[in-house]
Amino acid sequence: METPLLAGKKGKSFLTLIDWEPHEIEALLQSALKLKSLRNKGEHGQPLKGKSLAMLFEKPSTRTRVSFEVGMKELGGFTVLLRNDEMQLGRGESIEDTAGVLSRFVDAILIRTHEHARIERLADAAAIPVINGLSDQAHPCQALADLLTILEKKGSLKGVKLTYVGDGNNVLHSLIQASALTGIDLHVATPPGYEPDPAVWKYSEQIAEKTGSSLSFHYDPAVSVQEADVVYTDVWASMGQEEEKEERNQTFASYQVNASLMEKAKPDAIFMHCLPAYRGLEVTAEVLEGPQSVVFDQAENRLHAQKALLVAILADG
């Protein structure tokens, strides 16, 4: 069976989307589509036979853990699950020493952690590719699956109007980069004081000038969502922000994605959410469970997008 490969990326880390060129992101998406089609036929192949992925989780996970674990096994590889309380890392061993040791044992490292700088330190010290499974600044694996979902549902990425409503968090940062790289027209609405990182926005604007993408910001979600092809939201309080939950619930109340807001988008607009979702807060049950919602297709695409990524950075040939 022919294996979808992404030439020239073996051994490359995946810390943020902008580490990769637009044509490389497009190649990843095409590879993901091929791998998904093969899986639907009951075919997987063994392009990663004997390859190993260390999965270092310093934050809880459902979709990231399951999708990478299943993905590696379907491709012929295997995973080693690592948690802080089971490692010397949790007792004070440096992230650099951990990187050096794991580089001698496994073929790649997936890390899900708090500070993005910690991922960068791990990648700098490792002799093998490192994948960002989530940090406080970026969630590139989620964005890759988001792009795959939009491509499937809308047939193209270039010129699609994507509106994000909610917190200027790590998910949004990666969506900004993803949009700039692929020609999506992104419109963002956040409350004052919860805007995305200006540095992420400014650098992405420079990329957008080359790809034909546009980035637009509004404080009013009703303005931002007008004629949108895709409406996207996320939780108002991310992991580590639990103490801010009540304050955020009040601040973000007018940013809820409900039927009234969705009516301002195009009639065939889709609704996306990276999950977990909290019905009655950032989105109503009517929208989340309604006919425009593609959240479970989006979640499934974590598997296919990440399999493409794994093949790209680990497969021989």
In the structure, what pLDDT confidence band is assigned to residue 16 with cuts at 50, 70 and 90?
Answer: very high
Rounded CA-CA distance 98/104 in Å is: 10
Q: Which of 288, 12, 270 is nearest to 140 (CA)?
A: 12
**What one-letter code names the amino acid at 260?**
S
Q: Are 261 and 225 in contact (CB under 8 A)?
A: yes
Q: For CA atoms 55, 27, 148, 253, give the dihedral sign.
A: positive
Query: Which residues, 6 or more positions from 249, have their beta carbon under 8 angstroms from its beta carbon?
Result: 236, 237, 281
SS3 labels along 252-316: CHHHCECHHHHCCCCCCCEEEECCCCCECCCECHHHHCCCCECHHHHHHHHHHHHHHHHHHHHCC
Q: Which residues belong to the annotated binding site?
A: 61-64, 88, 112, 139-142, 170, 234, 238-239, 274-275, 302
Which letter does DSSP use for residue 236 in this model? S
Mean pLDDT over all residues of the chain?
Answer: 95
Q: What is the arithmetic mean of pLDDT over 157-182? A: 98
Q: Which residues belong to the annotated binding site for carbamoyl phosphate?
A: 61-64, 88, 112, 139-142, 274-275, 302
Q: What is the pTM of this model?
A: 0.95
Higher per-residue pLDDT: 152 or 4 = 152
Rounded CA-CA distance 315/276 in Å is: 32
pLDDT in tens, 127-145: 999 999 999 999 999 999 9
pLDDT in tens, 41-76: 999 889 999 999 999 999 999 999 999 999 999 999
Residues catalogued as catalytic: 112, 139, 142, 234, 274, 302
Q: Which residues belong to the annotated binding site for L-ornithine?
A: 170, 234, 238-239
In the structure, what pLDDT confidence band is assigned to residue 242 with cuts at 50, 70 and 90?
Answer: confident
3-state secondary structure of 162: strand
CA–CA distances in Å: residue 77 to residues 37, 72, 183, 313:
20, 5, 34, 13
Axis-axis angle for helices 95-105, 116-125 (nearest 10) = 50
Question: What's the gap between Cα 39 and its chain centre?
Answer: 21
Residues in the chain: 317
Rounded CA-CA distance 168/70 in Å is: 31
In the structure, what pLDDT confidence band is assigned to residue 3 with cuts at 50, 70 and 90?
Answer: very low
Specify the DSSP element, H or E, that contains 111. strand 108-112
Q: Which residue bears the tokens 């699609």?
A: 160
Rounded CA-CA distance 257/286 in Å is: 10
Rounded CA-CA distance 301/150 in Å is: 10
Q: Specify the pLDDT at position 8.
A: 45
In the structure, what pLDDT confidence band is assigned to residue 1 with cuts at 50, 70 and 90?
Answer: very low
Question: Torsion-angle region of residue 156: left (phi > 0), alpha (psi -120 to 50) or beta?
Answer: beta
Query: Which residues, 6 or more positions from 278, have their beta carbon under 8 angstroms from its beta carbon?
Result: 235
